[in-house]
Each structure stands twice: as C-alpha cells, then as structure tokens.
C-alpha cells in the first residue's frame, strides 16, 4: 500500500476515475458556469423534482438579509420523504436500517415509516399539538427520532431537536426559548455500554419548563425497560399511544416559507441561538446536495454517522437522504463499542456504499491503528465524506488509504447549522480533490474570501463570505431578529453573509478552511461558545472570573482550556478543578468539559478591562506571547505563562 508520507510529499491531486466521470449523478464541469449564470433556474429545476401541492410564483424574493424561496409554493416535507416514495417501487425498500449499540436491530421500509409517521402525527394531534407550535425532541439515535421529526413536519408543527448529550439545564433553556408545548423523550439510550437516563434528565429540565403540557416517552428497549418516574396526566408511553392511533394522516399543505424546525447552536454570547429553517428552500437545498455530493443511486446504503441532534443529522441523516428515497443506516452508539472496529464491522454487515463522518472520528481511528479496518473487507464502499471541521491532510490520506482503499473519492463538505445544506464541496464525478481542501462552492452557491477592508481577493487568506442567497439558508434566529442582523449581516454592507470562518483560496480557486475567527470553538466537530463555558464557570460559587480559549487537540481538533480566578477565601486545588469541570458538564453537557483549568490570581486585561483571549490562546498553545503592549499589567501574563508551563511539565 502507498505510504502516507509519500502521498503527502507529492502534493497529489485526486481526479475522479473514468468510471466516476461517466456515471456520477453530475459529470458535467460546465454546470458551475451555467448555475452561476442563472442560479434561480438552477434551483428551480431541483424543486421540480419534488412534489408540490401548489406551485411557486417566484423562485426567490431577496430583500437583504431576508429571503423568501419558492414564493407562494405549498408542499409538505414528510409527503416528499414518504408518500412520494410509497406510490412507487420504493414502497418496500428499506428506508431506515437501524442498529442499537447493544446489538438490537430494526429495519423500516418506506411503507413502515410512512405508517409510523402518520400514526405519530395523529398522536401529536390527539394531544392538541397545532400547526406552528413547537415540539421538543430529546432522544437517543433511534428511528423514533426521525419518526417524530417527520410527524411534526406532517402536521406543520415545528421541531426543536436537543442533542441527548446536553444537560437538563441546556434542555430547559431550549424548551423555554422556543416555548415548546410537548416533549418527546425516551426512558434512556446506550452509550459505551452505559445507560443514558434521558427521562430522568428531562424531568429535571421540566421542573422549570411550564410551557410543556405533555411528554411522550419512548421505551428504548422493550426487553430491558429503564426505570423512570411517570407523572400522571403529563407523561405518556409512546407505544401505548401508538396502539390507538389511526395510521392515516393527511399531510398539511405548508407554505414554502413556513417554519420546519429550530435548531440551537452556539454563538459568541453565552446564549445559544435558535436557528430557524423553513420548508421549501430547505428541502430543495438538502435534496439537491444529497443527490449530487453523495451521488445517491437506488441501491446505495448510505451512512452518515452524525447524531440527529446536530444539523448534519437533520439534513443528511433525515431530510436529504429520505427526500432522495435512499436507504439510510442509523447507529445509536459509540464507534469503539464493544470493539474499535464497530463501524467497519457494520459497513460489512450492511454493505454500506456511502460513508460520511467527521475528522475527529477519523483521527481517533488513526490513533487506534490500521489493524481495526484491515480486518474488514469494506469492499462495498464507493464514496467517503467528511464534515464538521477542517480535515488535516494526514487524516484525509489515512481515510483514503485505509477506509477508501484508494478506490473511493472523498468529499470534504463545508457548511454550518445556519447554511442548512452543504456549501463548499467537491462533486465526486467532476472535481479533482486535494487533501485538506473543501474545494469549490456547490453550483449555484457563491463564496469568496474578503480581506480586512472587505474587498474580494482571488487568492490568499481572509474571511469567508457567502455573496448570494441559497435555498436552505437560515431565515432568522428564533425570537431575536436583531441578533440575526448583527451576527451574520453587519460585517459587510453589500448583503453578503458572514460565516465566522477564516479561509484561504489557492491558485486553482480552491478553498481551504482555517477555522473560526470568532469566540466559537469547534470541539470534536461540535460548536461551543467560549462565553457559554465562561458563564457556566462563573455560576460556580467559588469562581470570580473565567476566560475560556481553545487549544489544539490531537483528536478533538480543539479542546477547552479555562483560566479561572477564584473569589476571596477559596484556594486552588486539583479537587476544585475537578469540581469545576463537573459543574460545566452539569450546566451544559459532556461536550463542554474543560480539558484544563488553570487558576490565576489575575487575568491579562487591556487598560479598558477587556480580557485578552489572544494572549491566553498563546499560553494554552505553548506559543511565544504576541504583542503585550496594550495590557494594563504585562507581568500578569508572564506569570501565567510560567505557571502554565510548570503545570504542563
Ligand atoms: C462550523 C459549523 C455543518 C456541519 C457540522 C458543523 C466548521 C464544518 C467543515 C469543513 C472546515 C468545517 C466551520 C463552520 N466546519 N465543516 N468541511 N471544513 N470546517 O456544523 O456546528 O454549525 O459548525 O464547523 O468552522 O463554521 P456547526
């Protein structure tokens, strides 16, 4: 097999093979120019492949920064993901092939899923859920999560999925922000052999969430029920309600601009933002990108390993693939359970053809060693994807050699919760890839690099801007129109969208993503605001002040490093550091757990009292300190650096 070092040194390109160039869903390089010349016509053609209850009058109405796509069009997302397929030979095709972590398995055909979604839609209606009302979903990665999302879409309710790893407090804040009327949860789920007691956490959240009138509890494993408290009148078992539910439910005719879902994501303040996605444009954008980027064919077995609690799961586990009538593999648990080859074993067992995962996972696989994938055939795979953070060329090449076996193109897809759909990506039948580059904007999407003056630059580094509206774009931040404007649309004055990412464009016009330029971290492919972690820390009774920065981490990409000043009368100790870490986990969830806590009597501040995170980052990265001339007291940072180095040993 080819050596990693040789491939890296060669600075190689990976052009599509003859087979890919001739058989992919899109093979014509001319598509970029054609889409650029007429983006609305480009999206219009994809929209016509879907099913509409009423046609649109205009593809786009753009009053920056407010877009309306498929104006006047009416459709139902669940009908597009289900009814449209059950009227064809896809009726008996597997829609969801699911494996639980303990090894239990279920397969739902399109017909099964159609019936289950219709029945659950009736259940929601019977509990009084109305069109436009919000429904919170706090579930493990089980088919019922997809069922609940599609059932909401069917009756026009707005779902707000909260990742099962979030704490009670995070769940409560999200429920309250959205004023959700109903919560769907489960007795629990499985992760690394442990039960995750979701209902118990939900009960804690619900103590401060009065908008919730009803709770539906999925029994994760009928053979092994997880003990829960049931509040009479409020809590109902999913399986009981479903016994009495009618299996036919007419899909609501939704306006293209009706809200489909809210998904919370971290920003630069302590409070997560409820990103709003609507119906028509979102479906068109996820449908189109799934079809062309993942090249889905009728016989594919497609596996995106993301949790549905993140946007990747919304767009590329549920809506995009099901709108394409694909067979979707879902797996509940950890990649190293019971062994470090669980993913590779599953790829062989189910004959997975398209596999989409995150660089943090790939780096963990690298660390675990090639012997794990080497034991497996992996010969059904034909296409690999990456998402969530920049993929370092070493990881790209490792993926190419050890998983793709030098046979599968890799699509490195850049996008965000806000963009809803993949924005920068190779097209596997068109693009010659370079390890580490997400390559070019998807046809119809306009991306560019801007310098500090806001000017477009053809090559070199700067801020990544999106200069044209796109169908799956966010329509707002729930309940906070001002933040929508300031966060995304105020950096430039010409109606361009600010991504928050730094990037470089090379001589071939390829984009190389460089990470966030704001106070947002990317820990294991998940977004985390430094302010959120700081708020959690200062909430602890011993903490006077906290500053959080990211530091490079071999597997996670970034890890959380916290600098903490204690209140008078409290002394630093390892035990207190542990207690603070636990406090953050309890406030936010395990993803926010600081790797490191450094106690310090002072934090480096400017003369106006602003904490200089840049210097803390230098310290956390073990770098030479940058300019310290604006500090009120330069000695503080010098002391901190010494202290840090002593601790790191
Ligand atoms: C941020 C968005 C949307 C997928 C899951 C993350 C980073 C995402 C890539 C990539 C380099 C990437 C960016 C972006 N990111 N994909 N292929 N290459 N960076 O969604 O939580 O909304 O985070 O993830 O920094 O802004 P998210």
The Cα 156–Cα 174 span in angstroms is: 20
Q: Ligand 1 pocket, 417 CB below 6 A?
A: yes
pLDDT the model gives residue 2 = 63
Q: What are the DSSP calls for 422-447, one per residue?
A: --B---TTTPPB-TT--BSBPTT--E
- C-alpha span between 126 and 182 (Å, rounded): 12
Q: Is the CB of 437 under 6 A from ligand 1?
A: no
Mutate which of 387, 388, 461 to test ligand 1's pocket (most atoms within 8 Å of Cβ)? 388
582: closest CA among 572, 567, 593? 593
The minimum-distance atom of ligand 1 relative to the CA of 306 is 5
Integer Cα distance of 265 and 366 in angstroms: 29
**291 bridge partner residues:** none
What are the residues facing 549 on neighbouring strands?
561
pLDDT band (50, 70, 90) for residue 648: confident
C-alpha span between 313 and 59 (Å, rounded): 27
Tell me, what's the pLDDT at 257? 98
Q: Is 545 helix (H, G, I), strand (E, B) or coil?
A: strand
Q: Could you tell me if the CB of 416 is within 6 A of ligand 1? A: yes
What gap in Å lies between CA 76 and CA 151, rounded to an integer?
11
For 344-382, list the strands marked E by DSSP.
354-357
What is the spatial distance between Cα 281 and Cα 67, in angstroms, rounded to a whole number?
Answer: 10
Average pLDDT in the 291-320 region? 98
The Cα 135–Cα 156 span in angstroms is 11
**Which residue is closest in CA terms to ligand 1's atom 4?**
388
Give, in order, the Cα–Cα distances in Å from 124 to each of 215, 430, 542. Answer: 10, 45, 45
Q: How far is CA 157 from the centre of its chain?
A: 21
What does the pLDDT look like over 553-605, one tens digit per residue?
999 999 999 999 999 999 999 999 999 999 999 999 999 999 999 999 989 88
Q: Are 416 and 436 in contact (CB under 8 A)?
A: no
Question: What pTM was estimated for this model as a whole?
Answer: 0.95
Q: With beta carbons less than 8 A apart as the criterion, state whether 519 and 492 touch.
A: no
Helices 168-178 and 574-587, packing angle to 10 deg = 30
Ligand 1 centroid–CA 515 distance in Å is 8
Residue pair 32/446 in contact (Cβ under 8 Å)? The answer is no
pLDDT of residue 9: 60
Q: How does residue 628 score in pLDDT terms, banded at 50, 70 and 90?
A: confident
Residue 134 near residue 160, CB atoms below 8 Å: yes
pLDDT at residue 393 tops 80? yes
Q: Are strands 259-265 and 273-278 parallel, antiparallel or unpaired?
A: antiparallel
Distance (Å, whole) CA 376 – CA 516 = 37
Q: Would you state the pLDDT for residue 8?
A: 65
Encode pLDDT of 404-437 as tens digits: 999 999 999 999 999 999 999 999 999 999 999 9
237: Cβ–Cβ under 8 A, 6 or more apart, which residues? 216, 217, 219
CA of 504 to the centre of ligand 1 (A): 15
- 504 three-class SS: strand
| pLDDT above 90: percentage of residues in the chain | 90
Q: What is the third-level CATH fold of 524-648? A: GMP Synthetase; Chain A, domain 3 (3.30.300)
What confidence score (pLDDT) does residue 7 get?
Answer: 66
Is residue 395 lining ligand 1, measured as CB closer than 6 Å? Answer: no
pLDDT tier at 6, thresholds 50, 70, 90: low
- What's the whole-number mean pLDDT along residues 453-459? 96
Name the burial class of residue 303, with classes exposed (0-12), middle (13-18) and buried (19+) by CB atoms within 10 angstroms of its CB: buried
Give the per-residue pLDDT at 588.
97
Closest CA to 127 of 184, 81, 42: 184
**DSSP 8-state secondary structure symbol assigned to residue 391:** P
List, as one string, the DSSP characters of 97-123: EEE-TTS-EEEEEHHHHHHHHHHHHHH
- DSSP letter at 254 equals E
Judge if the beta carbon of residue 527 lies within 6 A of ligand 1: yes
Summary mean pLDDT of the chain: 96
Confidence of residue 627 (pLDDT cuts 50, 70, 90): confident
Please give the average per-residue pLDDT across 197-203, as a whole number: 98
Q: Which two tokens stand for residue 567?
A: 């209140």
Per-residue pLDDT tens over the stretch 17-68: 999 999 999 999 999 999 999 999 999 999 999 999 999 999 999 999 999 9
Q: How far apart are CA 117 and CA 153, in angstroms?
A: 10
Closest atom, ligand 1, to C-alpha of 424 = 17
CA distance 501 to 519: 11
Q: Which atom of ligand 1 is nearest to the CA of 527?
A: 21
Share of the chain above pLDDT 70, in %: 98
Q: What is the 3-state secondary structure (H, E, C) of 272-323?
A: CEEEEEECHHHHHHHHHHHHHHCCCCCCCEEEECCCCCCHHHHHHHHHHHHH
On the question of pLDDT at 361 being above 80, the answer is yes
- Per-residue confidence (pLDDT) for residue 12, from 0 to 100: 84
Asked if pLDDT for residue 637 goes beyond 90, the answer is no
Confidence of residue 649 (pLDDT cuts 50, 70, 90): low
List all residues 6 or more positions away from 63 whose beta carbon is below 8 Å from its beta carbon: none
Which residues, including other chains, have CB under 8 Å from residue 440's CB and lie 6 or more apart?
Answer: 32, 424, 425, 426, 431, 509, 510, 511
Domain boundaries, the chain: 524-648
Residue 458, Cβ density class (10 Å: 0-12 exposed, 13-18 middle, ≥19 buried): exposed
Does ligand 1 lie within 6 Å of residue 311's CB atom? yes
């Amino acid at each position: 097999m080819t050596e990693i070092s040789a491939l890296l040194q060669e600075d190689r390109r990976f052009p599509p093979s003859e087979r890919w160039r001739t058989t992919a869903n899109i093979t014509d390089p001319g598509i970029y120019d054609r889409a650029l010349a007429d983006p609305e016509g480009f999206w219009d053609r994809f929209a016509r492949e879907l099913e509409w209850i009423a046609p649109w009058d205009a593809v786009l109405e753009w009053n920056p920064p407010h877009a309306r796509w498929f104006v006047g069009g009416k459709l139902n997302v669940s009908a597009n993901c289900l009814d449209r397929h059950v009227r064809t030979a896809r009726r008996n095709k597997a829609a969801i092939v699911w494996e639980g972590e303990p090894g239990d398995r279920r397969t739902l055909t399109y017909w099964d899923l159609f019936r289950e979604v219709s029945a659950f839609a009736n259940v929601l209606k019977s509990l009084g859920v109305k069109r436009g009302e919000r429904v919170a979903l706090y579930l493990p990665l089980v088919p019922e999560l997809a069922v609940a999302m599609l059932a909401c879409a069917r009756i026009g309710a707005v779902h707000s999925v909260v990742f099962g790893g979030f704490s009670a407090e995070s769940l409560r804040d999200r429920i309250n922000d959205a004023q959700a009327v109903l919560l769907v949860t489960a007795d629990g789920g499985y992760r690394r052999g442990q039960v995750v007691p979701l209902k118990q956490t939900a009960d804690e959240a619900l103590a401060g969430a009065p908008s919730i009138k009803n709770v539906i509890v999925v029994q994760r494993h009928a053979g092994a029920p997880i003990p829960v408290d049931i509040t009479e009148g409020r809590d109902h078992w999913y399986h009981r309600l479903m016994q009495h539910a009618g299996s036919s439910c007419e899909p609501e005719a939704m306006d293209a601009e009706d809200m489909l879902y809210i998904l919370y994501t971290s920003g630069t303040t302590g409070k997560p933002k409820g990103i709003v996605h609507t119906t028509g444009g979102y479906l068109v954008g996820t449908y189109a990108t799934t079809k062309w980027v993942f090249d889905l064919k009728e016989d594919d077995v497609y596996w995106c390993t993301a949790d549905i609690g993140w946007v990747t799961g919304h767009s590329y586990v549920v809506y995009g693939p099901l709108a394409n009538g694909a067979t979707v593999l879902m797996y509940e648990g950890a990649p190293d359970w019971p062994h470090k080859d669980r993913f590779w074993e599953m790829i062989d067992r189910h004959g997975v053809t398209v596999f989409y995962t995150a660089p943090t996972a790939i780096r963990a696989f690298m660390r675990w060693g090639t012997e794990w994938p080497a034991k497996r055939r992996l010969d059904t795979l034909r296409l690999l994807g990456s998402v969530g953070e920049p993929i370092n060329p070493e990881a790209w090449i490792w993926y190419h050699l050890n998983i793709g076996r030098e046979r599968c193109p890799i699509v490195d897809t850049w996008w965000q919760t806000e963009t809803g759909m993949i924005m920068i990506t190779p097209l596997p039948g068109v693009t010659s890839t370079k390890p580490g580059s997400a390559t070019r904007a998807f046809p119809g999407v306009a991306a560019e690099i801007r310098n500090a003056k806001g000017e477009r630059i053809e090559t070199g580094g700067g801020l990544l801007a999106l200069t044209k509206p796109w169908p799956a774009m966010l329509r707002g931040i729930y309940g906070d129109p001002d933040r929508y404007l300031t966060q995304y649309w105020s950096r430039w004055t010409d109606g361009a969208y600010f991504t928050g990412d730094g990037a470089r464009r090379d001589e071939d016009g390829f984009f190389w993503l460089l990470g966030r330029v704001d106070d947002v971290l990317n820990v294991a492919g998940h977004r985390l605001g430094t302010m959120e972690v700081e708020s959690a820390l200062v909430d602890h009774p011993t903490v006077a002040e906290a500053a959080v920065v990211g530091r490079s981490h071999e597997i996670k990409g970034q890890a959380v490093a916290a600098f903490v000043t204690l209140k008078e009368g409290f002394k630093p100790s390892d035990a207190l550091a542990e207690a603070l870490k636990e406090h953050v986990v309890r406030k936010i969830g395990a993803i926010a757990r600081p790797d490191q806590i450094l106690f310090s009597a002072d934090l480096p501040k400017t003369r106006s009292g602003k904490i200089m995170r840049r210097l803390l980052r230098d310290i956390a990265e073990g770098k030479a300190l940058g300019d310290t001339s604006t500090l009120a007291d330069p000695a503080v940072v010098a002391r901190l650096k010494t202290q840090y180095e002593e601790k790191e040993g």
